[in-house]
Amino acid sequence: AAAGEILLVAERITRRFGGLVANQDVCVTLPRGKVHVLLGPNGAGKSTCINMLSGDLPPSEGTIHFMGKDITGLSAAQRSQVGIGRSYQRTNIFPKFTVLENVRLAAQSRRQQPWRIFSRAMKQQWALDKARACIEEAGLGAKVDWIAGVLSHGEQRQLEIAMVLATDAQVMLLDEPLAGMGSDESARMVEVLKRLKPSRAILLVEHDMDAVFAVADTITVMVNGQVLESGPPAQIKASVAVQQAYLGQEDSF
Ligand code: ADP
Ligand code: MG
């Protein structure tokens, strides 16, 4: 698990929806120990890019490799098995289950058929132990036995992170994990991301510039499905092209 090891490489991935080109020739490299932020106005193609990396959406063109293997043809479930995990822009938890149960189910989902993980007999100790560790890592240790549905919005996003961790994700694809959070919740999530970063590769879609510049090692700016510029935060901050693209946009910085 060497830092810097390249885990995921997307080469010139393109996705069309009818006549619309939602991603064109997008290249992304995700090394372990780094956070790569995708930035861009609404409709730029950020979620489409994540969907192609996660296997939720097949690319129209281009290839995706994970640890040297071509995974372009693998489904989302298969990619989860090999170590690519994602969160969704909408929360994706069982609100009537406890935090621990939600994360246990996520831990077991990687190894077992979905219908089996709900059986009480399948409550395995390894999965409970792993769930507790992931909940701790996601900063939710104090709420392990809470019913998920009563957690605050921010805590539910932390729960989602714990669920991704429970699948042993080496690559974490996080689509707007700070969306709808207050500043305290955002700050807590940024701390969680910093803590997770050394041992994993993280791709993050985020609008909050304070958070972006607090965690990003590389930033790729997308506009109209294309990469406008990609590089270290200082380069992006100084880029005239990026500043012009953001002029008049709601997420200007
Ligand atoms: P972002 O996440 O940056 O806001 P998206 O990737 O969601 O952008 O969308 C990029 C473009 O692709 C938008 O014009 C959007 O309407 C379009 N799009 C996204 N998903 C679909 C889909 N499943 N079918 C048709 N068009 C889509
Ligand atoms: Mg999106």
d(CA 126, CA 188): 28
180 and 223, same domain (yes or no): yes
d(CA 253, CA 242): 10
Say what the ipTM of the complex is.
Answer: 0.99
The bound ligand whose nearest atom lies closest to the alpha carbon of 23 is 1
Residues paired with residue 147 on neighbouring β-strands, in sequence order: 98
Q: Give, for ligand 1, the residue of 13, 16, 20 to mutate: max count of ligand atoms closer than 8 Å to Cβ.
A: 20
Taking the CA of residue 76 as centre, how many other CA atoms within 13 Å lie in the half-sphere pointing to its CB?
14
Give the domain range for residue 149: 94-168
Chain position carrying tokens 């805590």: 155
| Residue at 88 is within a domain | no
8 and 56, same domain (yes or no): yes
The pTM assigned to this predicted structure is: 0.91
| Residue nearest atom 25 of ligand 1, based on CA coordinates | 17
pLDDT at position 10 is: 98
180 and 76, same domain (yes or no): yes
| Residue 192 predicted with pLDDT over 90 | yes
Mean pLDDT of all residues in 62-67: 98
CA–centroid distance, residue 17 to ligand 1 (Å): 8
The better pLDDT of the pair 159, 91 is held by: 159
